Structure 1
Amino acid sequence: MSARLKPSSADDRLNQVFGAPVGDLYTATVLPGASPALSRALELRSFLAMAEEQVARVRDRVHAAMAPDGDTNDLSAEALRWDQQWLQTALEARDGYRTALDQLLRAMPAPGSAPGPRAPRNRPVPPGPVPDRGRPGTHGCRGDPGPPTVKAPA
């Protein structure tokens, strides 16, 4: 099953932010003029859906191994250690994708709002001499007196 079809814990939030169900959002990303932010959000959502699926798989496997009606002869400490490592890795991935998606969605402007003012561009410095600010410790110096001087050994 494609990650696009797997549910994720972020689906409701994406629906709220972008105003459409996740399936429609995936369709919108292939249309001309698709939002790069939407594409990034859906990429993160796909990774999140896969990580959440892995968490569920390991959880289900551990639950099945520990079931009250299960055969205790089938229990393996090594298999449970591996499952613990897999679970920890999957949980860390899930949390990372969730955090990245939350940060992306928080950075987006509210729906229907106008884009904010653009940051001023750095203007190139015209060629010419660099203004003399003075040497450290002199009248024209702005700031601290500078680093201490060290005399070279004689």
Structure 2
Amino acid sequence: MSVRLKPSTLDGRLEQVFDAVIADLYATAASPDAPAAVTRAMELRSFLALAEEQVIRVRDRVHHAMAAERDMDELSAGDLRVDAQWLEAALDARNGYRAALDDLLRTMPTAVQKPRPVRMAQPVATTTLPTAAPAPQRAGAARARP
């Protein structure tokens, strides 16, 4: 099954933030002019979906091994130890991907948000000149030569 079809626990949040369904977000991420936020979010979502599938598989295997109808002679402490290690690794990966995706959604602009032009405040300097006395009539006039 394609990772695009596997559910993840953050699908609802992704759809809310980007205002699109997961299938459309994957299509957007695959386009050459895809926004970085969408591309990265879909990559992290894919990793998260795989990690969550691993958690489910190990959990189900442990539940099956511990089922009440199972013969106690079939229990293996070694198998359960390995499953516990796998579960810990899968949960660590899941938690890491969830945290990374949460950070990304919190800090990156979404595809819906369009960059707004930045308005820079231009400082305006104003001065007032003191009122000067009128210049003498001959100020700056060249002297006649005798």
| TM-score normalized by the length of structure 1 | 0.72
Amino acid at match of 1:36: A
The reply on whether 1:92 has 2:97 as its aligned counterpart is no
Unaligned runs of at least 5 residues, structure 1 = 118-154
Per the alignment, residue 137 of structure 1 pairs with: none
Deviations, residues 80-114 of structure 1 (Å, cap 9, x unaligned): 00000000000000000000000000002364364
Structure of higher RCO (CA pairs closer than 8 Å, 6+ residues apart): 2
Q: Structure 1's 42 and 88: CA in aligned 2 closer, same or farther, altered over 3 A?
A: same
Per the alignment, residue 77 of structure 2 pairs with: 77
The reply on whether 1:48 has 2:66 as its aligned counterpart is no
Amino acid at match of 1:112: Q
CA–CA distance in structure 2, aligned partners of residues 116 and 16 of structure 1: 25
The structure whose Rg is larger is 2
**Does the 8 Å contact 1:3/1:50 carry over to 2?**
yes
CA–CA distance in structure 2, aligned partners of residues 84 and 75 of structure 1: 14
Amino acid at match of 2:56: A
Amino acid at match of 1:18: F
**Does the 8 Å contact 1:109/1:115 carry over to 2?**
no
**Does the 8 Å contact 2:3/2:50 carry over to 1?**
yes
Q: Which has the higher helix share?
A: 2
The reply on whether 1:60 has 2:63 as its aligned counterpart is no
Deviations, residues 45-89 of structure 1 (Å, cap 9, x unaligned): 000000000000000000000000011111000000000000000
Per the alignment, residue 39 of structure 2 pairs with: 39
CA–CA distance in structure 2, aligned partners of residues 25 and 109 of structure 1: 15
Per the alignment, residue 101 of structure 1 pairs with: 101
CA–CA distance in structure 2, aligned partners of residues 116 and 26 of structure 1: 28
Moved over 6 A (4+): none
Root-mean-square deviation (CA), in Å? 1.8
Amino acid at match of 1:11: D
Amino acid at match of 2:45: R
**Does the 8 Å contact 2:37/2:109 carry over to 1?**
no
Task: Return the offset for 1:30.
Answer: 2.2
Q: Structure 1's 115 and 86: CA in aligned 2 closer, same or farther, altered over 3 A?
A: farther
Amino acid at match of 1:74: E
- % same residue: 59
Q: How many residues align?
A: 118
Alignment of 1:1-16 (within 5 A): 1-16=1-16
